[in-house]
Structure 1
Amino acid sequence: MELVPFTNEHLDAASSLLALRHRAHRAAHPLLPAAPEEPAEARRLLEALRKRPRTSGFAALQGGRLIGFALGTLRIDTTWGRSAWLFAPGHALAPGASPEVYRELYATLARQWVRAGCFAHVALLPASDRPAVETWSSLGFGHEQVHALRSLDAVVSPSGAPEQGVRLRRAGMEDLDRLLEVAGLVSEHQRESPVFAPYLPEFSEDWPQDYTELLQGEADRIWLAEQAGRLLGFAIFSPAEPTADDLLTPPESVSFTVGVTREEFRRRGIGRALFACGLEEARRMGFRSCIADWRSTNLTASRAWPRLGFTPALYRMTRRIDERVAWARGHFGATD
């Protein structure tokens, strides 16, 4: 096997491998978009990925034939700092190729990533591809995020009214201030064990504008649960907007972006009732499927969302390199 930099000459063969991988993925998850099963659409996705800034990768050749590839993107922002991502369209193996090919591709990519100061490494993998998930686990990657789908053919039963006096309704602009008062509940929940996701003050700076746009959006919906004038929880649904290199989002899908209930009112059916309202409205609006994602370590979400009909489609797996590797040389007095 030979590893060489990925170039335009590898695009046709890589597109075929990606189309085959997506065909197998869609056999396990029929809600996924069908178009990437065709090499022409797979090529468009690959070309879109290659246009992302700081994207490069390697092709694995055997006897001159492409048996695998991996394209990584360096990401530098306030959320992740300096990180490197293997997005869903950015990798595939030929049928029958050993998973060891992934290990070699990652080893070559990771050397460049660490040299660029990127110590957080992320891979988006089909949840149904157990050999790939196990291979990346063997490279030190762990489950961090679940991206899931469910059909709107069957509406979730609200299991009756949450309790007497609880009112469910769609939010309006007059509810903006009340929503902003509880908007941080999700971040506060995920700050705690076992998620430990940082809740930085700057995260909330854009909330007034974000919630205003949601309340004014033509197809966005925020559903509220309230009792005696107190807001108990809310759920947000928005049209799912696929990116240029998206393999997950089906046509006519809605995104379940936020679902939260005050801790003291959980386990009373409020969240399920809010979700049922949102899903029924989305179906009336013509949406056919729903997308959601959650942290694997968020115990509440990882138990509740599958019960609401969501099936994992993609796993976000991460590895964090000890940054001391950038300067540690293993003995005192080293200067090079």
Structure 2
Amino acid sequence: MRIVPLEDGFVEQAAALLSRAHAPAAAGAEEGAGGWDIADAEVARRAVAGWWGTGPAVAAVRDGGLVGFMAAVAPAFPGEPTARVRLTQHASVVADRRAIYRALYEALSGQLTAIGAFSHTVAVPAGARDTVTCFFELGFGVDQIRGFRPVPDARTPEARPPAPRTPDGAAAVPGVRLRPARGADVDRLLELTVELQHFHALPPALRPALVDPRAIRDGFLAALGDDRQLLLVAERRGQPVGMMQAGPDSSHTDAATIGIAVVTASSRLAGVGSALLSGVGEWARERGFRRYGAEWTSANRVSDAFWRGRGMVPTQLKLTRLIDSRVAWADAAMTYDTSPRARPRRARPRTARTASPAQAAKVTWPARPGSSVWTGRAAGEAGARARALGLTARAARPGGRRAPAPWPTASS
């Protein structure tokens, strides 16, 4: 088996691998696969074509045929540390799946860290136990969970929503009323979203509370004018105290997904969230969806208990690996004087430089004639451009050797 750049000639083979990996009860599909749009060969082909050439990508080849591939959405700008491997950007044959994935990630991770991406995420089906275990063994952990449940059916008691609505629109929770959002609600919905981000910044989730108010406001306004989406508000005493936004799911067939879901702190444990979920379930049923679901942070105990307690079965995991960025300078090229008389000195990293917009524009993925593909040469060129801007602490020397580190080492 050889690991090579993912070239144009592999497009159809990659799409076929992806489709087989997510087809239910098909040869090559893992246990728990199924219900994915990309199980359809044509959908898989369009998905592969959509990300082809947009970032680093590697292939595993055996006897001239493709047996696995892995690609990533690289950071959009210098300084952004996260590279993402989407669900449609990796697949392998059943035989030697563990060895194939380990070899693919070894090759891809080196390219990602070379451009300053030290946070790697990968989306995998929750039921794909072999793949999940493989990434666990590579240092990844569960970050986000996506789960689904059947839409409510009055004829099936076990599928009924947790808090049915009455015919006049009032939820069966004392003092709580559900209604569609209005334009006048946008400011209050934005406040609730900011509150949610502040909650995520608390232990144990500890996620930075980074909010783009303008983008969130624009998203709400777009949802208000989109018949395919639901923006549902829960009121207590005439004031919005919670909301859920839902729309068609982008990965699963016949499914709706909940985007933003929040209940203000003073109204938690009062049935507001259950009432909102009931409203979303009824909306999904009326639109002909068979399932509806949500995504939540694994470390968020409140969200995890709420969604799982209301029948959401995990179907997809987002796994994350955080790499110590000091490896950019404390690497194999670092030298130490190990003689007994040597005085130990601590290596000092070079101060990071912030690239100007003009400089940042130079660090881009290379275009190809007619289409684009990430090759080893192109990866090296992009890395060289990034290093020239001081975005990493590595400096190249002609002939492939590294130049001496620009800071004192333990032997200096």
Q: Is the TM value for this pair above 0.5?
A: yes
For 2:186, which of 152, 176, 187 is the aligned residue? 176
Shift of 1:39: 3.8
Report the residue type matching 1:75 in the other structure. P
Instruction: Look up the match of 1:304.
Output: 306
Instruction: Look up the match of 2:162.
Output: 157
| 8 A Cα contact 2:143 2:297, kept in partner | yes
TM-score under structure 2 length normalisation: 0.71
Query: What aligned pairs does 1:283-322 form with structure 2 within 5 A after superposition?
Result: 283-322=285-324
Query: What aligned pairs does 1:195-274 form with structure 2 within 5 A after superposition?
Result: 195-200=205-210, 202-240=211-249, 242=250, 248-251=251-254, 253-274=255-276
Instruction: Look up the match of 1:9.
Output: 9
Residues 154-209 of structure 1, C-alpha deviations (whole Å, 9 max, x = no match): 44130785653332222222323332332322112111111111113x52233333
| 8 A Cα contact 1:146 1:312, kept in partner | yes
| 8 A Cα contact 1:162 1:270, kept in partner | no
The structure with more strand, counted as a fraction of residues:
1
In the alignment of these two chains, the number of paired residues is: 323
| Distance in 2 (alpha carbons) for counterparts of 1:217 and 1:26 | 36
| 8 A Cα contact 1:31 1:289, kept in partner | no
Report the residue type matching 1:249 in the other structure. H
For structure 1, the residue ranges without an aligned partner over 5 or more in a row are 243-247
| Distance in 1 (alpha carbons) for counterparts of 2:291 and 2:204 | 30
For 2:328, which of 320, 326, 329 is the aligned residue? 326
Shift of 1:30: 4.6
Q: Is 1:185–2:195 an aligned residue pair?
A: yes
For 1:43, which of 41, 45, 51 is the aligned residue? 45
Q: CA RMSD of the aligned region, Å?
A: 2.6
Instruction: Look up the match of 1:245.
Output: none
| Distance in 2 (alpha carbons) for counterparts of 1:305 and 1:207 | 23
| Distance in 2 (alpha carbons) for counterparts of 1:94 and 1:65 | 11
Report the residue type matching 1:137 in the other structure. F
| 8 A Cα contact 2:23 2:36, kept in partner | no
Shift of 1:298: 1.3
SS at match of 1:210: helix
SS at match of 1:75: coil
| Distance in 2 (alpha carbons) for counterparts of 1:168 and 1:231 | 9
Instruction: Look up the match of 1:31.
Output: 35
SS at match of 1:195: coil
Instruction: Look up the match of 2:125.
Output: 126
User: In structure 2, do the counterparts of structure 1 residues 2 and 178 end up closer, same or farther at CA, with 3 Å as the change threshold?
Assistant: closer
From the CA coordinates, give the structure whose radius of gyration is larger: 2
| Distance in 2 (alpha carbons) for counterparts of 1:28 and 1:98 | 16
| Distance in 2 (alpha carbons) for counterparts of 1:301 and 1:257 | 13
| Distance in 2 (alpha carbons) for counterparts of 1:333 and 1:165 | 63
Q: Is 1:138–2:137 an aligned residue pair?
A: yes
Shift of 1:235: 1.8
